[in-house]
Amino acid sequence: MTGYSIEDILNILPIVFVVVWAMVLLVVEAFSKRRGLVIVLAVLGLVAALVLTVMHIGTEASVFKTMMTVDGYAVFIWVLVLASGLLTIGLSYDYAKRMGWARGEVYVLMLFSIAGAMLMASAANLIVVFLALELLSIPLYILAAIAPNDASSEEAGLKYFLLGAFSGGFILYGIAMVYGATGSTNLLAVVEAAGSTQSPLYMLVGAAMILIGLGFKVAVVPFHMWTPDVYQGSPTPVTAFMAVVAKAGGFAALLRVFISAFPALSDDLVPVLAAIVILTLVIGNIAAVAQKNIKRMLAYSSISHAGFIMMAFITYGQADVYADAVAAVLYYLLAFAVTSFGSWAVVIALEKAEGKGLELDDYNGLGKKYPMLSAAMLVFMLSFAGVPPTLGFGGKFYLFRTVLQGGYAWLAVIGVLASLVSAYYYLRVVIHMYFEEGDPTVRSEPVLNLVTAVTVVGTLALFFLSGPILAWAAQSVLALM
């Protein structure tokens, strides 16, 4: 263990802290019967990690030789997933009690998963990518199945585990191929060796397999089959967490790996990526139109948003555009995260035990009876649909800009048409809330209401802060290569 110093630890202190804190909580949870204590400690830990992360803004370092990188890009994702953790705790605080899975280990698992996502963002070596992915995923498999005596939750956990393990195999095999072609798993060494490799085909196949494996994680078509069932079956706060954190981690790794290690392959990969994008947009959106259950609808909608994010990714190989592409992805991820947590908070407010209260018809008359809550849902739906002045609009705006810059006008046209289709099903929620008569009941609980309030303000206010956010996102990219 020579050559490593305390500085390496300090550079990735937020990740280390989250992991250590999770282990501490594990012990606390074992000896304390009070769930509240674990929750308070988890919140404190996340806040402390956020503070540590914010102190890392501006840090640029290679950690443990070249195993990991800390840069603005990583820090952006760290902030995103840590904040997601806080919002998930807010979502689950009351819900877990109501649904009978109020157990402390939920929060421990969540912290581990967050650490995994953070690690994904700073992994500079394919082996670390794989380890990070497992650290992100394994707690999620358990979380998906955490609702006791609930067959659909168990089914969700098992499904997620089997397909997740399968996709992990793809990634590992892909890494082996890349190693075979270049003799290294380090991203920078791979790109250096790429020019002189004797077996470019191995390299291409390896990259494609990594793409498939991560495609499973971020749920793009045709690797999305598990998503609707798992999202619907998992406890709703877990679904929200999974939708945002797994996506953020997956895309974080995808971008860094492909931009750092495989820029030369972009010519070969662009048709594949374009096909994935089009399939994802078409199937995600059209399937969402047919849904009557809001969890399933949001699941398909999250698939379609993965398609949008993937769209920016297409330009990754173009030297003059990729920085915008990365900024667009980060911004879109932020927009998706805020809007998505908000809409899940509304879903949770209406959800009843045993999976009741999740049909679109259950939203009938919400606008009349609960004007604030339905106004919030309205904002989220408009943001998802990309109507200004919301964060979702900012995301799409910047995204399409990047795509046009990259010279894919036809793709942008497909994108706007897809967002038109998506407006239809998002507006349907609005129709149920405002235009139909009904008598819904809502669980109004301070913590949950706080999450709704924070996200609705975020959806609107952050749009007007687009400048600084994009400046931060774009700056972070400079360090990426």
Partner 1 sequence: MDFILRELNLVTFSPLVGVLVLLFLKKEQKNAARWIALVTSLVTFGISLVVLAQFDAANTGLQMEINETWFTFGDWEIKYALGVDGLSILLLLLTTFLTPISLLSTWSAVEDRVRDFNLFFLLLEFGMIGVFLAQDLFLFYVFWEFTLVPMYFLIGIWGGAQRMYAAIKFFLYTMAGSILMLLAILWLGNTQGTFYVPELILKGGIPENIQTWLFFAFAAAFAIKVPMWPLHSWLPDAHVQAPTAGSVILAGVLLKMGTYGFLRFNIPLFPEAAKEWAWLMALLAVIGILYGAAVSYWQKDVKKLVAYSSVSHLGFVMLGLFALNPQGIEGGILQMINHGLSTGALFLLIGMIYERRHTREFDEFGGLWKVMPVYAVLTLIVSLSSMGLPGLNGFVGEFTILLGAWGAGEGVLGTPLYAAFAAAGVILAAIYILYMFGRMFLGPLTNEKNENLKDLSWREIITLVPLLVLIFWIGLYPKPFFDLIAPTVEHLVATLGM
Judged by the rule CB under 8 A, the positions of this chain that interact with partner 1 are 324, 327, 368, 371, 382, 387-389, 393-394, 397-398, 400-401, 404-405, 409, 412-413, 416-417, 419-420, 423-424, 427-428, 430-431, 434-435, 464-467, 470-471, 474
Q: Of 92 and 364, which has the nearer Cβ to partner 1?
A: 364
Smallest distance from the beta carbon of 325 to partner 1, in angstroms? 11
Smallest distance from the beta carbon of 465 to partner 1, in angstroms? 7
Q: Which single residue is written with the structure tokens 């490799």?
A: 197
Please say whether the beta carbons of 310 and 276 come within 8 A.
Answer: yes
Other Cβ atoms less than 10 A from the Cβ of 51: the count is 13
Instruction: Report the alpha-carbon distance of residue 298 to residue 278 in Å, rounded.
Output: 19
Instruction: Report the alpha-carbon distance of residue 380 to residue 392 in Å, rounded.
Output: 9
Backbone angles phi, psi at 69, to 5 degrees: -130, 135
Q: Of 237 and 415, which has the nearer Cβ to partner 1?
A: 415
H-helix or E-strand spanning residue 62: strand 61-63
Q: Answer positive or negative: Cα dihedral of 46, 52, 55, 61.
A: negative
| Local structure of 89: helix, strand or coil | helix
Tokens of 82: 């840590």
Smallest distance from the beta carbon of 437 to partner 1, in angstroms? 11
Instruction: Report the alpha-carbon distance of residue 173 to residue 166 in Å, rounded.
Output: 11
Q: Of 167 and 476, which has the nearer Cβ to partner 1?
A: 476
Q: Of 132 and 382, which has the nearer Cβ to partner 1?
A: 382
Smallest distance from the beta carbon of 269 to partner 1, in angstroms? 24
Q: Of 214 and 309, which has the nearer Cβ to partner 1?
A: 309
Tell me how far apart the terminal alpha carbons of the chain are, to the nearest angstrom. 27
Helix segments in 226-357, DSSP class H: 226-233, 236-241, 247-261, 266-289, 294-313, 322-350
Look at residues 86, 93, 21, 82 and name the one whose alpha carbon lies nearest to residue 55: 82
Please say whether the beta carbons of 199 and 63 come within 8 A.
Answer: no
Smallest distance from the beta carbon of 438 to partner 1, in angstroms? 14
Smallest distance from the beta carbon of 400 to partner 1, in angstroms? 6
The DSSP code for 186 is B
H-helix or E-strand spanning residue 387: none
Q: Of 213 and 284, which has the nearer Cβ to partner 1?
A: 284
| Local structure of 348: helix, strand or coil | helix
Q: Which single residue is written with the structure tokens 């806040």?
A: 47
Smallest distance from the beta carbon of 432 to partner 1, in angstroms? 10
Please say whether the beta carbons of 408 and 315 come within 8 A.
Answer: yes
Q: Of 244 and 288, which has the nearer Cβ to partner 1?
A: 288
Q: Of 27 and 417, which has the nearer Cβ to partner 1?
A: 417
Smallest distance from the beta carbon of 429 to partner 1, in angstroms? 12
Smallest distance from the beta carbon of 259 to partner 1, in angstroms? 18
Smallest distance from the beta carbon of 419 to partner 1, in angstroms? 7
Please say whether the beta carbons of 237 and 191 come within 8 A.
Answer: no
Q: Of 100 and 468, which has the nearer Cβ to partner 1?
A: 468
Smallest distance from the beta carbon of 300 to partner 1, in angstroms? 18
Q: Of 4 and 464, which has the nearer Cβ to partner 1?
A: 464
Instruction: Report the alpha-carbon distance of residue 12 to residue 14 in Å, rounded.
Output: 6
CA distances from 368 to 226, 440, 444 (A): 36, 10, 16
Helix segments in 183-265, DSSP class H: 187-194, 200-218, 226-233, 236-241, 247-261
Q: Of 246 and 429, which has the nearer Cβ to partner 1?
A: 429
Please say whether the beta carbons of 423 and 383 come within 8 A.
Answer: no
